[in-house]
Amino acid sequence: MRYLQLSVHGDTFVGLLGFATDRYAVLSDNFPKNDVFQVPSLCTKVYGTNLVGLLCQGNSNGILLPYFVSEDDILKVKKFAEGLGVNVGKVHDRHTALGNMLACNDHGAIASPLLEDVKVIRDVLDVEVAQMKVASSTESGACLLATNKGFIAHHDAEGQLQEIENVLKVKGMCGTVNYGVPYVKSGVIANSNGYIAGTTSSGIELGRIEDALGFM
């Protein structure tokens, strides 16, 4: 397992700047070079912003982007994905912060009940999709970060862990990031090989992340 704590131009909410799978990673244009994930990485902007992890989501089978991304953005992502055998699709939905609305691994996906374009999500990611709130929030993806080895969830999702495990087919735990923030997706990027967390996450939080994601 490899891990790194960093901030990007002072921003410790690294999860908003990218996501990683066991086949590839998509990171913001300004993300520091690293070898934590040990997979090919695409560093890019989406819709002119570095909020790649907020707007996009994916697993080893596919990459999802919001419907309004430019043709140039789509072509860049498709060129990267083509050589990896990864699907690319646009989600036509009024809820466009896909990283906040959806959590997934290679076994399943948990989507916000607000999302309507679920068929595209299912087809591109090639997994079953369960629509549910996490910790009473409709921003299910913001409250949950999953890999193929485990997941970490919002601290108020303790009573849902078994339900989440049934969808994602891995065990997980509740925790926080960046010194008490419960929206765990915002402060971590991870795959089965390692993780990156913000510099303000405490040692206790890092230990919890490592335990939840199966690194201990």
Cα–Cα distance for residue pair 22/39, rounded to 1 Å: 7
Residue boundaries of the structural domains of the chain: 2-212
Nearest to 154 by CA among 129, 123, 186: 186
Q: Which fold has domain 2-212?
A: L-arginine/glycine Amidinotransferase; Chain A (3.75.10)
Instruction: Please list the pLDDT of the chain residue by residue as tens digits (216 residues).
Output: 799 999 999 999 999 999 999 999 999 999 999 999 999 999 999 999 999 999 999 999 999 999 999 999 999 999 999 999 999 999 999 999 999 999 999 999 999 999 999 999 999 999 999 999 999 999 999 999 999 999 999 999 999 999 999 999 999 999 999 999 999 999 999 999 999 999 999 999 999 999 999 998
Cα–Cα distance for residue pair 118/108, rounded to 1 Å: 13
CA 79 to chain centre: 21
